[in-house]
Structure 1
Amino acid sequence: MGLKDKAAKRTKESPFVPALLGLFHAARTERNFQFHLFAGTCVVVLGFLFSLSKTEWMIIILVIFGMLSLELVNTAIERTVDLVTLERHPLAKQAKDVAAAAVFVYAFMAVIIACIIFIPKILLLF
Protein backbone atom coordinates (compact mmCIF):
# COMPACT_ATOMS: atom_id res chain seq x y z
CA MET A 1 0.00 0.00 0.00
CA GLY A 2 1.53 3.29 -1.12
CA LEU A 3 1.44 6.61 0.68
CA LYS A 4 -1.47 7.83 -1.47
CA ASP A 5 -3.47 4.70 -0.63
CA LYS A 6 -2.82 5.16 3.08
CA ALA A 7 -3.81 8.84 2.90
CA ALA A 8 -7.01 7.98 1.03
CA LYS A 9 -7.88 5.29 3.58
CA ARG A 10 -7.25 7.70 6.46
CA THR A 11 -9.59 10.33 5.05
CA LYS A 12 -12.42 7.79 4.93
CA GLU A 13 -12.21 6.65 8.54
CA SER A 14 -13.44 8.67 11.44
CA PRO A 15 -10.83 10.97 12.97
CA PHE A 16 -11.83 9.54 16.33
CA VAL A 17 -10.68 6.01 15.51
CA PRO A 18 -6.91 6.64 15.80
CA ALA A 19 -7.47 8.75 18.92
CA LEU A 20 -9.51 6.03 20.59
CA LEU A 21 -7.01 3.36 19.54
CA GLY A 22 -4.22 5.40 21.13
CA LEU A 23 -6.26 5.99 24.27
CA PHE A 24 -7.14 2.31 24.70
CA HIS A 25 -3.55 1.26 23.95
CA ALA A 26 -2.25 3.59 26.67
CA ALA A 27 -4.90 2.41 29.13
CA ARG A 28 -3.92 -1.21 28.49
CA THR A 29 -0.14 -0.90 28.36
CA GLU A 30 1.09 2.21 30.16
CA ARG A 31 1.51 1.77 33.91
CA ASN A 32 1.72 5.51 34.58
CA PHE A 33 -1.40 6.22 32.53
CA GLN A 34 -3.21 3.50 34.47
CA PHE A 35 -2.09 5.09 37.73
CA HIS A 36 -3.37 8.51 36.66
CA LEU A 37 -6.69 6.98 35.57
CA PHE A 38 -7.01 5.36 39.00
CA ALA A 39 -5.99 8.54 40.84
CA GLY A 40 -8.42 10.60 38.77
CA THR A 41 -11.22 8.15 39.53
CA CYS A 42 -10.43 8.37 43.26
CA VAL A 43 -10.53 12.18 43.09
CA VAL A 44 -13.91 12.08 41.32
CA VAL A 45 -15.29 9.78 44.04
CA LEU A 46 -13.96 12.17 46.70
CA GLY A 47 -15.54 15.04 44.79
CA PHE A 48 -18.95 13.40 45.03
CA LEU A 49 -18.43 12.54 48.71
CA PHE A 50 -17.53 16.14 49.55
CA SER A 51 -20.12 17.76 47.24
CA LEU A 52 -17.72 19.96 45.31
CA SER A 53 -18.93 23.28 43.95
CA LYS A 54 -19.24 23.81 40.19
CA THR A 55 -16.01 25.79 40.18
CA GLU A 56 -14.17 23.06 42.09
CA TRP A 57 -15.52 20.45 39.66
CA MET A 58 -14.31 22.49 36.69
CA ILE A 59 -10.85 22.76 38.22
CA ILE A 60 -10.72 19.05 39.08
CA ILE A 61 -11.88 18.03 35.60
CA LEU A 62 -9.30 20.30 33.94
CA VAL A 63 -6.53 18.93 36.14
CA ILE A 64 -7.49 15.27 35.59
CA PHE A 65 -7.85 15.54 31.82
CA GLY A 66 -4.72 17.70 31.60
CA MET A 67 -2.77 15.05 33.50
CA LEU A 68 -4.03 12.25 31.28
CA SER A 69 -3.30 14.29 28.14
CA LEU A 70 0.21 15.11 29.27
CA GLU A 71 0.86 11.46 30.07
CA LEU A 72 -0.25 10.56 26.53
CA VAL A 73 2.10 13.17 25.05
CA ASN A 74 4.92 11.81 27.22
CA THR A 75 4.24 8.30 25.92
CA ALA A 76 4.21 9.56 22.32
CA ILE A 77 7.56 11.29 22.85
CA GLU A 78 9.06 8.13 24.37
CA ARG A 79 7.81 6.01 21.47
CA THR A 80 9.12 8.49 18.91
CA VAL A 81 12.55 8.59 20.51
CA ASP A 82 12.62 4.78 20.59
CA LEU A 83 11.64 4.71 16.91
CA VAL A 84 14.44 7.09 15.94
CA THR A 85 17.21 5.29 17.81
CA LEU A 86 17.53 2.11 19.80
CA GLU A 87 21.04 2.96 20.96
CA ARG A 88 21.65 4.89 24.13
CA HIS A 89 22.21 8.49 23.16
CA PRO A 90 22.47 11.48 25.51
CA LEU A 91 19.95 13.51 23.47
CA ALA A 92 17.45 10.64 23.44
CA LYS A 93 17.77 10.36 27.22
CA GLN A 94 17.36 14.11 27.63
CA ALA A 95 14.23 14.14 25.46
CA LYS A 96 12.67 11.37 27.54
CA ASP A 97 13.77 12.95 30.82
CA VAL A 98 12.37 16.37 29.91
CA ALA A 99 9.04 14.83 28.83
CA ALA A 100 8.89 12.93 32.12
CA ALA A 101 9.75 16.13 34.00
CA ALA A 102 6.78 17.88 32.38
CA VAL A 103 4.49 15.14 33.72
CA PHE A 104 6.14 15.40 37.14
CA VAL A 105 5.67 19.18 37.33
CA TYR A 106 2.01 18.86 36.31
CA ALA A 107 1.44 16.04 38.81
CA PHE A 108 2.98 18.18 41.56
CA MET A 109 0.61 21.00 40.66
CA ALA A 110 -2.31 18.54 40.66
CA VAL A 111 -1.45 17.44 44.20
CA ILE A 112 -1.27 21.07 45.36
CA ILE A 113 -4.68 21.80 43.82
CA ALA A 114 -6.16 18.65 45.38
CA CYS A 115 -4.81 19.74 48.77
CA ILE A 116 -6.27 23.24 48.38
CA ILE A 117 -9.68 21.81 47.51
CA PHE A 118 -9.90 18.77 49.79
CA ILE A 119 -7.94 19.55 52.98
CA PRO A 120 -10.39 22.23 54.22
CA LYS A 121 -13.28 19.84 53.55
CA ILE A 122 -11.52 17.01 55.39
CA LEU A 123 -10.74 19.29 58.35
CA LEU A 124 -14.44 20.13 58.68
CA LEU A 125 -15.05 16.47 59.53
CA PHE A 126 -13.09 16.84 62.80
Structure 2
Amino acid sequence: MRINIFRRTKRALCGLFSVVTRDTSVRLMSVIGILVIAAALWLNINGIEFIVVLVIAFSVITLEGINTILERVIDLVEPRYKDMIKEIKDALAGFVLLACVGAAVVGILIFWPYVVEKFF
Protein backbone atom coordinates (compact mmCIF):
# COMPACT_ATOMS: atom_id res chain seq x y z
CA MET A 1 0.00 0.00 0.00
CA ARG A 2 2.83 2.42 0.79
CA ILE A 3 4.33 1.81 -2.61
CA ASN A 4 1.08 2.85 -4.25
CA ILE A 5 0.97 6.05 -2.20
CA PHE A 6 4.58 6.87 -3.09
CA ARG A 7 4.02 5.99 -6.74
CA ARG A 8 0.86 8.10 -6.90
CA THR A 9 2.58 11.00 -5.19
CA LYS A 10 5.49 10.75 -7.62
CA ARG A 11 3.12 10.72 -10.60
CA ALA A 12 1.20 13.69 -9.22
CA LEU A 13 4.41 15.65 -8.71
CA CYS A 14 5.61 14.75 -12.22
CA GLY A 15 2.30 15.97 -13.66
CA LEU A 16 2.52 19.18 -11.65
CA PHE A 17 6.13 19.73 -12.74
CA SER A 18 5.15 19.10 -16.36
CA VAL A 19 2.44 21.77 -16.33
CA VAL A 20 4.59 24.31 -14.46
CA THR A 21 7.56 23.87 -16.79
CA ARG A 22 5.56 23.88 -20.04
CA ASP A 23 3.02 26.63 -19.47
CA THR A 24 4.05 30.28 -19.18
CA SER A 25 0.89 31.35 -17.36
CA VAL A 26 1.21 28.68 -14.67
CA ARG A 27 4.90 29.50 -14.30
CA LEU A 28 4.12 33.22 -13.99
CA MET A 29 1.40 32.61 -11.38
CA SER A 30 3.79 30.33 -9.48
CA VAL A 31 6.52 32.98 -9.43
CA ILE A 32 4.03 35.65 -8.32
CA GLY A 33 2.72 33.30 -5.62
CA ILE A 34 6.24 32.64 -4.33
CA LEU A 35 7.00 36.38 -4.29
CA VAL A 36 3.77 37.13 -2.42
CA ILE A 37 4.51 34.44 0.17
CA ALA A 38 8.08 35.73 0.52
CA ALA A 39 6.74 39.27 1.02
CA ALA A 40 4.32 38.00 3.67
CA LEU A 41 7.21 36.37 5.52
CA TRP A 42 9.40 39.47 5.15
CA LEU A 43 6.63 41.75 6.45
CA ASN A 44 5.98 39.27 9.27
CA ILE A 45 2.21 39.26 8.81
CA ASN A 46 0.19 37.53 11.54
CA GLY A 47 -0.78 33.86 11.48
CA ILE A 48 -4.36 34.04 10.23
CA GLU A 49 -3.50 36.58 7.54
CA PHE A 50 -0.55 34.44 6.47
CA ILE A 51 -2.86 31.42 6.13
CA VAL A 52 -5.24 33.52 4.00
CA VAL A 53 -2.32 34.59 1.77
CA LEU A 54 -1.20 30.96 1.39
CA VAL A 55 -4.69 29.70 0.55
CA ILE A 56 -5.28 32.45 -1.99
CA ALA A 57 -1.85 32.09 -3.63
CA PHE A 58 -2.21 28.33 -4.00
CA SER A 59 -5.82 28.71 -5.18
CA VAL A 60 -4.85 31.08 -8.00
CA ILE A 61 -1.98 28.81 -9.08
CA THR A 62 -4.28 25.78 -8.96
CA LEU A 63 -7.01 27.54 -10.92
CA GLU A 64 -4.51 28.59 -13.60
CA GLY A 65 -3.27 24.99 -13.79
CA ILE A 66 -6.82 23.67 -14.18
CA ASN A 67 -7.46 26.30 -16.87
CA THR A 68 -4.36 25.19 -18.75
CA ILE A 69 -5.25 21.51 -18.54
CA LEU A 70 -8.85 22.12 -19.64
CA GLU A 71 -7.63 24.16 -22.62
CA ARG A 72 -5.35 21.28 -23.63
CA VAL A 73 -8.20 18.79 -23.32
CA ILE A 74 -10.43 21.05 -25.42
CA ASP A 75 -7.72 21.32 -28.10
CA LEU A 76 -7.33 17.54 -28.08
CA VAL A 77 -11.06 16.87 -28.38
CA GLU A 78 -11.81 19.64 -30.88
CA PRO A 79 -8.67 21.00 -32.57
CA ARG A 80 -10.62 23.09 -35.09
CA TYR A 81 -11.65 26.62 -34.23
CA LYS A 82 -15.30 27.00 -33.31
CA ASP A 83 -17.19 29.82 -31.65
CA MET A 84 -18.26 27.55 -28.81
CA ILE A 85 -14.64 26.55 -28.13
CA LYS A 86 -13.66 30.23 -28.05
CA GLU A 87 -16.46 30.99 -25.59
CA ILE A 88 -15.40 28.14 -23.30
CA LYS A 89 -11.73 29.19 -23.34
CA ASP A 90 -12.65 32.84 -22.80
CA ALA A 91 -14.86 31.88 -19.85
CA LEU A 92 -12.06 29.81 -18.33
CA ALA A 93 -9.65 32.73 -18.69
CA GLY A 94 -12.27 35.09 -17.28
CA PHE A 95 -12.63 33.05 -14.10
CA VAL A 96 -8.86 32.98 -13.65
CA LEU A 97 -8.84 36.76 -14.09
CA LEU A 98 -11.63 37.08 -11.51
CA ALA A 99 -9.61 35.00 -9.03
CA CYS A 100 -6.53 37.15 -9.69
CA VAL A 101 -8.45 40.38 -9.12
CA GLY A 102 -9.94 38.98 -5.92
CA ALA A 103 -6.51 37.84 -4.77
CA ALA A 104 -5.06 41.29 -5.50
CA VAL A 105 -7.82 43.03 -3.52
CA VAL A 106 -7.39 40.70 -0.54
CA GLY A 107 -3.61 41.05 -0.83
CA ILE A 108 -3.81 44.84 -0.74
CA LEU A 109 -6.15 44.75 2.26
CA ILE A 110 -3.82 42.39 4.14
CA PHE A 111 -0.46 43.85 3.13
CA TRP A 112 -1.24 47.58 3.23
CA PRO A 113 -1.03 48.08 7.03
CA TYR A 114 2.24 46.14 7.18
CA VAL A 115 3.74 48.12 4.28
CA VAL A 116 2.69 51.43 5.88
CA GLU A 117 4.16 50.34 9.23
CA LYS A 118 7.45 49.24 7.66
CA PHE A 119 8.04 52.19 5.33
CA PHE A 120 6.15 55.20 6.70
TM-score relative to the length of structure 1: 0.85
Structure 1 counterpart SS, 2:64: helix
Verify: 1:15 aligned to 2:11, yes or no: no
Q: Extract structure 1 runs of 4+ deviating beyond 4 A.
A: none
Aligned to 2:59: 66
Aligned residue number for residue 21 of structure 2? 28
Tell me which amino acid in the other structure corresponds to 1:43.
V
- 2:69 aligned with 1:76: yes
Are 2:28 and 1:38 aligned? no
- Higher relative contact order, chain-length normalized (CA < 8 Å, sep 6+): 2
For these two proteins, the number of residue pairs brought into alignment is 116
How far apart in 2 are the matches of 1:40 and 1:12?
28
Offset at residue 12 of structure 1 (A): 9.4
Cα gap change, 1:12 to 1:64, in 2 (>3 Å) = closer
Unaligned runs of 5+ in 1: 1-10
Structure 2 CA distance for partners of 1:18 and 1:91, relative to 1, 3 Å: farther
- When normalised by structure 2's length, the TM-score is 0.89
Matching residue's letter, 2:60 = M
Q: Highest Rg: 1 or 2? A: 1
> In angstroms, what is the RMSD of aligned CA positions?
1.6
Structure 1 equivalent of residue 46 of structure 2: 53
Report the Cα offset of residue 72 of structure 1: 1.1
5+ residue gaps in structure 2? none
The structure with more helix, counted as a fraction of residues: 2
Going from structure 1 to structure 2, the CA distance change for 1:95 and 1:122 (only over 3 Å counts) comes to same
